[in-house]
Amino acid sequence: MTEKKKTTQDMSFEILKTSSTSKARLGRITTAHGVIETPAFMPDATRGAVQTISSLQLADTKTSALVSNTLHLYLKPGSELIRSQGGLHQFMHWDKPILTDGGGFQIYSLIHRSSLKGKINAEGMTFQSPLDGSMHTLTPEKSQEIQFDLGSDIKMAFDDCIHADQDKQRNLESVELTTQWSRRAKEKFGAMSNELGVESLIYAIVQGGNDREMRKKSFEELNEIGFDGFAYGGWPIDAEGQFMEDIIGYTASLMPDDKPKYAMGIGTPDDIRKGVELGYDLFDCVLPTRNARHGHLYTSEGILRVKNGEFKDDNRPIDPVCDCTACVNYSRAYIRHLINIDEPLGKSLCTIHNLRYYARMMEDIREQLAIT
Amino acid sequence: MTEKKKTTQDMSFEILKTSSTSKARLGRITTAHGVIETPAFMPDATRGAVQTISSLQLADTKTSALVSNTLHLYLKPGSELIRSQGGLHQFMHWDKPILTDGGGFQIYSLIHRSSLKGKINAEGMTFQSPLDGSMHTLTPEKSQEIQFDLGSDIKMAFDDCIHADQDKQRNLESVELTTQWSRRAKEKFGAMSNELGVESLIYAIVQGGNDREMRKKSFEELNEIGFDGFAYGGWPIDAEGQFMEDIIGYTASLMPDDKPKYAMGIGTPDDIRKGVELGYDLFDCVLPTRNARHGHLYTSEGILRVKNGEFKDDNRPIDPVCDCTACVNYSRAYIRHLINIDEPLGKSLCTIHNLRYYARMMEDIREQLAIT
């Protein structure tokens, strides 16, 4: 690498304006692959692609950054392979910012939501691959190595995710492990940044479940280590599916205002709007893309379930005010037909629409913040 | 409809040049939705979409016409629904020529290659829907009604397809039924063209299996009825998978030189080149799109099976000389990864590539004919 070696302190997060009526802020995160105007939503390109659409089609939705998954890419096609291709940006032909998760949440999901084996100890997480049953161990250091292989602009520290309903003992253990792992991640990040002369950012994930005391402990320990940004970790919705505004807002209030605040896994358009008012700058969620694949579409007039019989001969676009490729060229009737016959093109058009809806929503949010 | 009523005689097939070394010809078919420069290959948009790609992406491959399926669209979403949307061109947002098949071959496939019920008699074909088990009857007249609902530019007469190995008795029956059905199709086509004031073309399908005498009988009877073009019907390859050059060439030689000759279901690049030399002008086949979905790609250096391990870290495009979206933007390694994880984007990029390969091949064939 011939790039000039830079430290993370060269990276900037700039607040352009703060709302007078809420904690919302208009900002700008500068990365090695350009600027993310915040508040911003980042779709999930889990395995190196936003399902059913290309990076060119994603760019057409005016999406400014994406999230990809350390664990999934490590398992397939392998992070060394992606490094050999010049990193994930070059591999998937996407020249805007990429954030990669640490892998902790994905392993937690594998272990707790499937019959796969796994265990957590101080060293890291050991888990069984859902692809071939082989056993793997991810540590805070290994997670950073993979993220450096991928060449992401924003790297996440390795965390121990728990469910919101866990008892205090397990919650405390999760907070303490997350602190230890984040410290090791930060050290590895620093060493690799120096060694490779790469400029990127590292954010830490605040754990603590639905317990203010634990959230405070988690944040303060992480803040002492020092990170470029902080994320709300764990589950953002309760057992009833309600947005946990109290703890999410409290966690944001702990974070320093001069650093980006990232609401992981959030969310619905309403929850993102709430998150913005609570002070969060970054959001990611599988909802718009997953819903798209089921024909569940976001529009200016609410949710449109395109499979519904009422749309069978409806020649209007999904949303007449939308400027996406799907809305400009195709009708509800055609897209309904495609979704009904399980044609991938239907999923692709719906994904393009939902991501353009989210991108326009964020544009509107930023515009409102700019003028009020 | 406010269009001026036209008869099919207004439609033109123009031969620009005939080869001095073979029966190949350079031509031009004019339809209500523009010109098809021939020889031309038409991909299959079976159910109103070329699988995994949009009509905009199809247009980007410089494909000049497509084939869609009367039977499949009749079953779902229903041809009346498509008529209510302004026809198939408007429904799928494709403004170039569309050819629709008669439905006979599809029903033949349903009956003979599945456990579905069906029977053939003089009236037409009765068959069980693979979607819900319901019984339907397609007649020569009904097939035309559906094709008028779809608004295709080239309509096919209803035919009774048989396997190449059928005995003489069944072959004769097929030829006679095809003649009767084609006569009824032509009558219905004429009546509906007059009634609706629509300009389109009708081609008939020559049957007769692998028997010259039967092919001659079939062609002569159809020619006496009079059609805008003639197609080679039945199987183009024998039990060993070999292109049946003798009977396919013989059938082409029967057809009048001043009308388009259509080689249905043909084929591989080599078989298309042979077909051109035998005098055929139009081709369609599922091969390039079906193969694409399995990562089986056509290139200037032969077939590339992108799943093969040798391509796992190959950062070159599928075909360095290709100008398609997949080759300009993505590597073999990335496309291999997508195909390996069964990501629809992989199928979509491969489909775009194979169709651009076929379109370029036809451009080359036409260019060679123009200069020699």
Please give the Cα distance from A345 to B178 (Å, whole number): 36
Q: Which of A89-93, B42-46, B91-95, B129-133 has the lowest mean pLDDT?
A: B129-133
- Give the architecture (CATH level 2) of A8-286: Alpha-Beta Barrel (3.20)
A25-31/A13-18 β-pairing:
antiparallel
If you average pLDDT over every residue of chain B, what do you get? 95
Please give the Cα distance from A227 to A236 (Å, whole number): 22
- How many CB atoms sit inside 10 A of residue A84's CB? 15
Question: What pTM does this model have?
Answer: 0.96
Stretch 37-96 of chain B: residues touching chain A, C-beta under 8 Å: 47-49, 51-56, 76-77, 81, 84-86, 91-93
Please give the Cα distance from B120 to B114 (Å, whole number): 16
On whether any CB of chain B is under 8 Å from the CB of A345, the answer is yes
Q: Do A329 and B49 touch (CB under 8 A)?
A: no
- Top pLDDT among A201 and B11 is at A201
Q: Give me the pLDDT at residue A4, please.
A: 40
Mean pLDDT by 10 residues, chain A (372 residues): 42 91 98 97 98 98 98 97 98 98 91 83 94 95 98 98 87 97 98 97 97 97 98 91 95 98 97 98 98 98 98 98 98 98 98 98 98 88
Residues of chain A in contact with residue B56, where contact means CB-CB under 8 angstroms, are 325, 329
Q: Give me the pLDDT at residue B11, please.
A: 55
pLDDT higher than 60, residue B1: no
Residue with structure tokens 């479940």?
A209
Contacts of B274 (CB under 8 A, 6+ apart): B243, B245
Residues of chain B in contact with residue A54, where contact means CB-CB under 8 angstroms, are 325, 329-330, 345, 348-349
Q: Write out the two tokens for B251.
A: 């059938």
Residue among A84, A202, A166 nearest B333 (CA): A84
ipTM given for this complex? 0.96
DSSP single-letter state for residue B236:
S
On whether any CB of chain B is under 8 Å from the CB of A330, the answer is yes
Q: Write out the two tokens for A273.
A: 């709007």
Contacts of A90 (CB under 8 A, 6+ apart): none
Model confidence pLDDT, tens digit, residues B15-37 = 999 999 999 999 999 999 999 99
In the chain, the amino acid numbered B195 is: E
- Å from A309 to nearest chain B CA? 12
On whether any CB of chain A is under 8 Å from the CB of B119, the answer is no
B118-120/B229-232 β-pairing:
unpaired
Please give the Cα distance from A341 to B42 (Å, whole number): 22
pLDDT higher than 80, residue B301: yes
Q: Give me the pLDDT at residue B46, please.
A: 96
Residue with structure tokens 């819903």?
A291
> Could you confirm whether domain B8-292 is CATH 3.20.20.105?
yes
Given a contact cutoff of 8 angstroms between Cβ atoms, the answer to whether A267 and A285 are in contact is: yes
Task: Return the active site residues of A.
Answer: 101, 284
The radius of gyration of chain B's CA atoms, rounded to the nearest angstrom, is 20
Given a contact cutoff of 8 angstroms between Cβ atoms, the answer to whether A262 and A324 are in contact is: no
Q: Do A349 and B56 touch (CB under 8 A)?
A: no
Given a contact cutoff of 8 angstroms between Cβ atoms, the answer to whether A232 and A204 are in contact is: no
- Would you kindly state where each structural domain of chain A is located, as residue ranges? 8-286
pLDDT higher than 90, residue B313: yes
Model confidence pLDDT, tens digit, residues B234-284 = 989 888 889 999 999 999 999 999 999 999 999 999 999 999 999 999 999
Tell how far CA A338 is from the center of its chain. Answer: 29
A125-128/A135-138 β-pairing:
antiparallel
**Diameter over CA atoms, chain B:** 61
Q: Average pLDDT, stretch B85-111?
A: 95
Model confidence pLDDT, tens digit, residues B134-177 = 999 999 999 999 999 999 999 999 999 988 778 999 999 999 99
Q: Average pLDDT, stretch B40-52?
A: 98
Q: Give me the pLDDT at residue A1, please.
A: 36
pLDDT higher than 70, residue B4: no
Q: Write out the two tokens for B114.
A: 């599945």
Q: Do A81 and B54 touch (CB under 8 A)?
A: no
Q: Which of B159, B160, B271, B284 is labelled catalytic?
A: B284
Determine which helix (DSSP H) or strand (DSSP E) holds B48, and give its type and residue range. Answer: none
Q: Average pLDDT, stretch B75-82?
A: 98
Given a contact cutoff of 8 angstroms between Cβ atoms, the answer to whether B170 and B162 are in contact is: yes
Number of Cβ pairs < 8 A linking chain A and chain B: 110
Q: Do A313 and B81 touch (CB under 8 A)?
A: yes
Cα B24 to Cα B204, B252, B279, B280: the distances in Å are 21, 11, 5, 7
- Measured between CB atoms, which of A76, A93, A344 is closest to B344? A344
Given a contact cutoff of 8 angstroms between Cβ atoms, the answer to whether A76 and A134 are in contact is: no
